[in-house]
Amino acid sequence: MEQTLNPPEQSSVSQPTIKRGRIKLFISYCAGAGKTYAMLGEANRRKHGSHENVVIGTVETHGRAETEAQIGDLEIIPRKSIEYRGAWFEEMDVERIIRRKPDYVLVDELAHLNVPGSKHPKRCFDVLDLAYAGINVLTAVNAAHIESLNNVVQQISGVKIRETVPDSFMEMVDELVNVDVTTEELINRLENGKIYHSDKAPIAVASFFTEANLSALRELTLRKAAEQVNRSLETLKQKRGISSPWQTQEKVMVCLSQSHPSDRLLRRAWTVSTRLHAPVTAVLVVNGAETEKEIKSLDIDIKLAGDLGINVEKIHGKDNAQALADYAWKNKITQIILGHSHKSRIYEMMYGSIMDDLASKVHGIDLLIVANPE
């Protein structure tokens, strides 16, 4: 059963509130990309440049000389020993770090499973204890160890990852740094013995470190990093009371018509989303009063959408324009595609048009009107 990510219980005795420390995560798509090196680099800059109190809670250099050199004169907090089944194991001493009260603590290998008998089953929960004690944490992980990516990583590489970090932890990360390197450079590092001993390099290249595997994992990591940045942006917008979408990540919505075929709209939406590398959703407002002819037409549109790989969402509402606008705001749509009205200009002057009505409700969202071929 997965442990929940809750703050430590507070004493009922009145105590001053401790501001939670920030969690800064260094992430990359594979071992050897330079996460620990980058993390140690920041630790040194904070100690020697900003004169902050920085310690190492745990670090794994894997015998890499350049990484070991980065430790320099950084203070290392001794680990504690835990007995398990007649053997002794060393784990990060969280209590000792909290007593030491540094400004920053460096915690490597975030996904590490603690030995049974530890306070928490996973190191990521130790990180939360440190953060809730008011200590800022610098930590690192490979994207392959994020729980929601586990099945995808296994499908790509054929390797089942045991040590994982819950996605709920990722939501608590305050800052994310993607430590990226080309697949060619990573393989070159491996072959030159900078990741593993040179005698192990051919085996690694033949199994996990193939160019295809690494390219897929790299793309997966870039997407995860983009999601994290987008989440941070949304949090910032909420703090500032900004409700309109910023076009940092395009999201396309195409409005299906009940009364006329929407094949031109769907094909245009597919073209636009492909050019922008943006997700696209077809939205249909239903009210339960559709005629048999309209239902048949919609079935054809829905089939075409499926062929184009466009997801279809059915929403309910008496006011079509309002329902579409509400969906667009809720889902942070940046572009709306809809067809030109089939109604006469006189009709629109008397009764209005959904196009004008929608335009008045979605300020800040681009509208693309697809011409009526008739």
Shared domain for 177 and 34, answered yes or no, is yes
Question: Is residue 122 included in any domain, yes or no?
Answer: yes
Q: Residues 270-299: pLDDT tens digits?
A: 888 887 778 899 999 887 767 788 888 888
Does 218 score more than 80 pLDDT?
Answer: yes
6 occurs within a structural domain: no
Q: Is 1 exposed, middle or buried (0-12, 13-18, 19+ CB in 10 A)?
A: exposed
Judge if 297 and 258 occupy the same domain.
yes
Please check whether residues 213 and 280 belong to one and the same domain: no
What is the reported pLDDT for 349?
A: 45
Same domain, 218 and 302: no
Look at residue 50 and tell me whether its pLDDT is greater than 80.
yes
Domain annotation covers residue 8: no
> Does pLDDT of 10 surpass 50?
no
> Considering the domain boundaries, does residue 46 fall inside one?
yes
Please state the domain count of the chain: 2
CATH code of residue 52: 3.40.50.300
Rounded to a whole number of angstroms, the distance between the first and last alpha carbons of the chain is 61
pLDDT of residue 238: 64
> What is the percent of the chain where pLDDT is above 90?
35
Residue 10 lies in a domain: no
| Domain boundary pick from 239, 274, 299 | 239
User: Bigger pLDDT: 2 or 283?
Assistant: 283
Regarding whether 273 and 138 lie in a shared domain, the answer is no
What is the pLDDT, as a whole number, of residue 236? 58
Q: Is the pLDDT of residue 219 over 70?
A: yes
- 225 and 324 share a domain? no
At residue 123, the pLDDT reads: 96
Q: What is the pLDDT of residues 321-372, one digit of tens each?
A: 899 999 988 888 888 998 876 554 543 444 446 677 788 787 778 888 886 6
**What is the average per-residue pLDDT within 191-219?**
69
pLDDT for the residue 296: 86
Residue 14 lies in a domain: no
Same domain, 198 and 92: yes
Kindly report which listed range (182-186, 188-192, 203-207, 261-265) carries the lowest average pLDDT score. 203-207
CATH number at residue 350: 3.40.50.620
* 111 shares a domain with 48: yes
- Using alpha carbons, list the distances in angstroms from residue 318 to 91, 264, 310: 61, 25, 25
Please tell me the predicted confidence (pLDDT) of residue 215. Answer: 85
Beta-carbon contacts of 20 under 8 Å, excluding residues fewer than 6 positions away, are 7, 131, 132, 134
Are 103 and 162 part of one and the same domain?
yes
The model's confidence at residue 152, banded by pLDDT at 50, 70 and 90, is confident
Six token digits for residue 93: 């001493």
Whether 54 is covered by a domain: the verdict is: yes
Write down the pLDDT at residue 346.
44
- The percentage of residues in the chain with a pLDDT greater than 70, rounded to a whole number, is 81
Question: Which residues face 87 on adjacent strands?
Answer: 84
Regarding whether 346 and 284 lie in a shared domain, the answer is: yes
Domain extent for 94: 23-239
Q: Is residue 245 situated within a structural domain?
A: no
3-state secondary structure of 136: strand
User: Which of the pair, 149 or 15, is modelled with greater confidence?
Assistant: 149
Q: Which of 331, 328, 226, 337 lies closest to 272 in space, CA to CA?
A: 337
How many Å apart are CA 120 and CA 189, to the nearest integer?
Answer: 35
**The last residue of a domain, from among 192, 207, 239:** 239
Instruction: Answer yes or no: do 144 and 290 share one domain.
Output: no
- 114-123, 281-290, 316-325: which has the minimum mean pLDDT? 281-290
User: Could you tell me if 192 and 53 lie in one domain?
Assistant: yes
